[in-house]
Chain A
Amino acid sequence: MTDSVLPQSLGDSARGDRWKPNRSLSKLTQKLIVLLFGAFAFVSVATTIGIVLTLIFETIEFFLEVSPWEFFTGTRWSPTFANPRFGIIVLLCGTFLTSVIGLLVAVPLGLLSAVCLSEYAPRSLRAWLKPALEILAGVPTVVFGYFALLMVTPFLKTFIPGLSTFNSLSAGLVLGFAVLPTIASLSEDAIFAVPLSLRQGSYALGATKRETVTGVVLPAALSGIVASIVLGVARAVGETMIVTLAAGQSPTLTLDPRSAVQTMTSFIVQITKGDAPYGSIEFKTLFAVGMTLFVITLVLNFFSFWFVRRFQEKYE
């Protein structure tokens, strides 16, 4: 450190001549740095504000042309046709179908993996299994899309009659494996954090390992587990490439997992892949759909916050 020992206001020290600290400069630097970094920190807030404003602005434009009644109750979706229809239910249904299939895979497998990693796997094996799950989490979703469309669908076709080339089943299954690491990793953290004393209390009552896990440890980790599942739901709802590639682009109102559907996200990709001109109804529709998606994730987020706050137990 080049700066010194005593400021001038404390009086000249015996060695005063040899120390020339530039206090005002270093204080100024600090002020500027704090200002700059504060502005940087504001960027992330601005991102949220930007997202909200962008979506609101174009959504209002959208609703000036399309009645909210049609948007929320219509059962047909064809915004690019000559006679456009805007029933968001169709896209919601597609998103619902692929997400539910995905979560049926991701939630049980993710939770059981978390239990296994935390309670059953020996430490040495755990050191290999966790990174393997991290690799799964790091696979780009477009690669999962390739996997779903070109490997899983042909495989499923061999024993599921009537499975179309694009279908929500294959997209949902692969989506589940893409979401699994999120749920497994966050749940594992929560389960691992349950204090040893609770486990001992359970064993001392004559509980077996499984009874301790499902009767004491999982309930004790509940808030963390629910938070991980909610984040998994948000990922599944917002996932784009797998469903775009494997579930197709046909907006039909169906719950048949063998047929093609269109999700909110794959609609956005379909429109932006082409060149939707600014100001066109297609362009505004993008943002109305985006707004719907954003509101869903926001609701999920608030639920997660509320749940964690309400049910988180503090252990010493």
Chain B
Amino acid sequence: MTVNSEQSPQLQETKANFNPNLKGRYRFDRVFKTISWIATFAGIVVLTVLLIGILVSGLSSLSFDFIVNPPSRKPEIAGIWPPLIGTICLLVITALFAFPVGVGSGIFLEEFSEDNLFAKAVEINISNLAAVPSIIYGLLGLFVFARIFEPVTGGRSLLSGGLTLALLILPVIIVATREALRAVPDSLRLAGMALGATRWQTVRSHVLPQALPGIMTGTILALSRAIGETAPLIVVGAATFVPFAPELSIKGLQSSFTAMPIQIFSWVSRPQDGFHEIAAGAIIVLMLVLLVMNGSAIWLRNKFQSNR
């Protein structure tokens, strides 16, 4: 220890009751900090390895033919056209159903419902649904949409699959809508009503436009979760081999379907390496679609935040 001119810059311990052991404690601090950094990067390292591994084995199979060809028993000529179109159709059906119902529920709960039993039940119910495994929604879809409503949906069809996914993401959209509505200042509502507008007129023309970017962000994120879902679609009855893209008609809605995750699942489950490579190729396409969707959601969110 260097000795200062005035006095040693060490605090003299006057009481013997304490054994602070600062050296040991600091060592433990450093160890803990290091471990927590390692833990944080573990997830990121795994993500990186996964992405690079898929790029390495999948890039070679990407081509124009791969996109527009139907699946085949021969991996060299197999493509992803029907599942890609299937995923897009599912996305549209899911959005058409889940968006209005989810946003409507959100508006109802946030703007029109008093603190009554129904509102409370819905609230508890929504947080409960968040923990229900997606495969259970598949069983619901199988029983209700594919079996009970078979005359309408055509059984294990595109429509049944889309509706099942819609139910799955409904809670997410409701929560996003409520949060977006809550962020709109109350003064706006009071101003609207003070002009003699009804609550709905105020909500429609003032509150909703303000909340829309937030609602859209939440909806896109929910939809991007939906198109990655595999289990509920398998359970509802997605076919693993569909040679044609569905028709754009009522009949098309009622026809059997497949989707990108299903196709990937089917190819990964086969023993041949050739199928594994095209599975990686299909994963790249699926991840690109997800990237575009998430990117637009983040773009919307940032634009929204900077405007405030």
Residues in chain A within 8 A of chain B (CB atoms): 1, 3-5, 21, 26-27, 29-30, 33-34, 36-38, 40-45, 47-48, 50-51, 54-55, 57-58, 108-109, 112-113, 115-117, 120-121, 129, 132-133, 135-136, 138-147, 149-151, 177, 180-181, 184, 206, 208-211, 213-214, 230-231, 234-235, 237-241, 244-245, 265, 268-269, 272-273, 275, 278, 286-287, 290, 293-294, 297-298, 300-301, 304
Contacts and interface: CB of A to CB of B under 8 A. Distances in A.
A234 B128 CA distance: 11
Given A132-B47, A136-B43, A293-B136, A37 B105 contact: yes
A186 to B, nearest CB: 11
A142 B265 contact: yes
B36 A113 contact: yes
Given A150-B268, A269-B234, A290 B136 contact: yes
Contacts of A231: 130-131
Contacts of B47: 132, 135-136, 139, 177
Chain B interface bracket (under 10, 10 to 19, 20 to 34, 35 or more): 35 or more
Interface of B: 20, 25-26, 28-29, 32-33, 35-40, 42-44, 46-47, 49-50, 53-54, 57, 100-102, 104-105, 107-109, 112-113, 118, 121-122, 125-126, 128-140, 142-144, 147, 167, 170-171, 174, 192, 195-201, 205, 224-225, 228-231, 234-235, 237, 240, 261, 264-265, 268-269, 276, 279-280, 283, 286-287, 290, 294
Main secondary structure of the interface of A (DSSP, over half): helix
Contacts of B201: 1, 3, 26, 30
Contact of B280 (A47, A129, A146): A146
B133 A117 contact: no
26 contacts: A1-B196, A1-B205, A33-B200, A34-B112, A37-B105, A38-B118, A40-B100, A40-B101, A40-B105, A40-B108, A43-B105, A44-B171, A112-B36, A116-B36, A116-B37, A138-B228, A142-B261, A146-B268, A151-B53, A208-B25, A210-B32, A235-B131, A278-B147, A287-B143, A298-B128, A304-B131
